[in-house]
Amino acid sequence: MDDASKNSIHAYHNEGFLGSKDARALRILSEYLEPNSRFQYHHVDDTIVFMGSARTLPREEAEARLKLAENGDGDLECARTDLKMSQYYEASRTLATRLTV
């Protein structure tokens, strides 16, 4: 066995590769396959997925940021926009609760 064979590792164990731009499709696929496997194990047949922005804040957090910005600690315009957008975050939470309770 030559040195290259001894030092080679399978791609699925190669964290450098898995974290690379080239493996993005694998990471996206795994975000589907892994939860799907858990759903099958627990006999979950139906799901609802809410898609949105990870940057949208809950109202409470947006209000706190606005207070800080009004006191000179932060971007006031951005904080106002965050508060306005928080209505969508809260509406999603309300809908999720209504659908699952």
What pLDDT score does 26 carry?
96
Q: For residue 4, what pLDDT is reported?
A: 58
Q: How far is CA 42 from CA 21, 31, 52, in A?
A: 33, 17, 26
What pTM does this model have?
0.58
Angle formed by the axes of helices 59-70 and 76-100, to 10°? 170
pLDDT at position 51: 83
Local confidence band at 88 (pLDDT 50, 70, 90 cut-offs):
very high
Q: Where are the alpha helices (DSSP H) in the chain?
A: 3-7, 15-18, 24-41, 59-70, 76-100
pLDDT at 1: 55
Least confident of 6-15, 26-35, 76-85: 6-15
pLDDT range class, residue 6, cuts 50, 70, 90? low
**pLDDT bucket at 91, cuts 50 / 70 / 90:** very high
